[in-house]
A and B are shown apart, each in its own frame.
Chain A
Amino acid sequence: MTMAEPDSSQQAMPTTPLELTDVTKRYGETTALDLEGATLAFRPGEFHGLVGPNGSGKTTLFRLLTGLSRPTSGTLERGEATVGYSFQEPRFYPSLTARENLEVFRGFVGDPPPDSWIETLLEELRLEPAAHRRADELSGGFRKKLDLSLALVKRPQFLLLDEPLADVDDHSRRRIRAFLESYQSGTIEGGRGDESALEPNSGDRTVVISTHNVDAFESALDRVTVLVDGTLRADGEPEADVVEQYRNALE
């Protein structure tokens, strides 16, 4: 991975948080998320862990934040921030290659990052071997990495990742973790020596990781939110032992 010194001349405009207040989401009689009486914010510049066991409402929360679902009640502030979403089950055009998928989704962006950003993603996420293969023929790990790349292709201010390390091999896991940390801190080069493609060091990028494996990103977290059965059990700075903090919240 190539790191670059922050470039203060390219500071982006400060971003407002993604914020949910008193939000609930019900599907028929089932309550998937109940944040009644609570405010949950994802602040600019943080590496935020959203942890909880299966079925705790993490994916529902991401669907609300990305506008894929509407809250049953409560308010949701999104502002004008760009949001990238990597799904728990990868979402891409099955009949296109990995590279074609990236190029198509880059086309949705009004002011897209330079071409070299796609090369950076392919390289950093070790997707190059799969770049010219049909997406529906990829293995689970490559599918996951392609989905992650698609979430990153517009270089969003908020990056929401649902179980980003699922199905991914150990070596790729380490690379992904390091890449996401440098993405959040804004120290990634455009890729392949293209100096013009140096990405702006916004300093306010937010990465939200939804996982039930809290230890995977333990050292990177600036904030931890614990959801259990759709309710908020904990929200704050990580303690020295995040795994223990999570266990305590579960009990």
Chain B
Amino acid sequence: MDLLALLSKEAIAVRRNLGLVVVLLILIPGALAGGTVVFEQTIPQDVPVGLVAEGDASSDEVDITRAGITAFSTPETYDSSEEATEALQREEVYIVVHVPGDLMEPGSEANYTVTSDRAFVPFEEPVNESAGVIESEFDSSLPADVAVESEGIGEERSLSEFLVPTGLFAFVALYGLVYLPYQLHSERLVLDRLQTESRLETVVASKLLFYGLLLVVPVGVITAVTSWLGYSVAAFSPMALGVVALTFVLLASTGLAVLFLLKLRKTALFVNLGLTLGVFALSSLVYPVGFFSSTQTTISRALPTHYSAITLRSALLRDTPPSVYADYLLWLAGSAGVSLIVLLLTIALYRRRR
């Protein structure tokens, strides 16, 4: 009988917390299952690849190459090597294929060069695979004797170093989307008193400011630990700090907006947890966009967090001037601004509903 009574209590509690149950048992599992559509393949077929004509290569030869690599990539043509290299550093493409001339001359030697960015460590193996595919495919189908050479730009990096900016991004996402809303939620009872003394907007601004400034601590810890480990990462560079700050404002404002929209209920914390999982899964943090599907490319490139990950990686691992990422930083700043406005609107809505 005890068990029956307790089970009946649980059933009542579920009915009372229907919002939380819907998020926890329906929306999150549904999103996890639905999200799998983005991960279609394990052999990359849609990774953006740059094409650039070298020396006397004609546009026909570029087109032939394009047709040859379409099976395992999404080719993008660039007018110059410099442009293509910049696209590589901006992660618009993940390898650049330099197309040689004389592809159609029987017996002539045609040497392709496949360039990758050494900062994007997990793609090293696929790059070697791609180079092998290009060589065997083209050598057998083109009149020229085709050879492929691989080269990398930037400093040699280890997987451990590559994971530092990824880890930092993941930390900021958890901190902004989960911890800060949780912190405000734990103080929800005092909000009524605070509203008799101050404005909710000021309360929220103080939290964003305080916990945003506090991020200097984990960045400092990461700098100290990675320096002790002998890594060469620039976590304390102005660009890194700027990206961390913008990412924090974007994600913390989003998390707090969800909290106010759901009237400071616990359900909001689970929604934010779901959002965090979505950010991790869809921002192409470790693998290139298009690695798993073309849908993944579309989604990742629409998410500001994707640009956070790229710019953070660049700030920590690449010796590239911030101006190369000006549009990414602008998009990130714009998104952070919009999320702040949305947060203000949800606070106003929260107040109106009281």
Interface, chain A (partner B; CB < 8 A):
63, 66-70, 83, 85, 87, 89-95, 105, 108, 150, 154
Contacts and interface: CB of A to CB of B under 8 A. Distances in A.
B196 A92 contact: no
A91 B189 contact: yes
Given A68-B354, A69-B354, A70-B352, A93 B190 contact: yes
B59 to A, nearest CB: 67
A94 B186 contact: yes
A70 B195 CA distance: 13
Contact of B193 (A63, A69, A70, A85): A85
B187 interface: yes
A245 to B, nearest CB: 31
13 contacts: A68-B196, A69-B354, A70-B352, A70-B354, A83-B196, A85-B193, A85-B196, A89-B189, A91-B192, A92-B190, A92-B193, A93-B187, A95-B186
B82 interface: no
Nearest to B191: A91
Contacts of A108: 197-198
A87 B193 contact: yes
Interface of B is mostly: helix
Contacts of B187: 93-94
A150 B196 CA distance: 11
Contacts of B191: 91
Task: State the main secondary structure of chain A at its contact with B.
Answer: loop
A30 to B, nearest CB: 14
Contact of B192 (A83, A87, A105): A87
A89 B197 CA distance: 17
Given A68-B354, A69-B354, A70-B352, A91 B198 contact: no
Contacts of A67: 195-196
B63 to A, nearest CB: 66
Q: Which 4 A-B pairs have the closest CB atoms?
A: A91-B193, A108-B197, A66-B196, A91-B192
Contacts of A68: 192, 195-196, 354
Interface residues of B, number: 13
Nearest to B193: A91
A105 B189 contact: no
A94 B191 CA distance: 12
Interface string B150-189: 0000000000000000000000000000000000001101
A105 B352 contact: no
Contacts of A87: 192-193
Contacts of B192: 68, 87, 91
Nearest to B192: A91
Given A91-B189, A94-B186, A94-B187, 5 more contacts: A68-B192, A91-B193, A94-B189, A94-B190, A95-B186
Contacts of A91: 189-193
A94 B190 CA distance: 8
Interface string B322-354: 000000000000000000000000000000101
Q: Residue among B189, B195, B354 with the most chain A CB within 10 A? A: B189
A87 B196 CA distance: 11
B285 to A, nearest CB: 33
A121 to B, nearest CB: 15
Contacts of B197: 105, 108, 154
A94 B197 CA distance: 17
B31 to A, nearest CB: 31
Contacts of B352: 70
Contacts of A105: 193, 197
Contacts of A89: 189
Contacts of B198: 108
A68 B46 CA distance: 54
B189 A150 contact: no
B193 A150 contact: yes
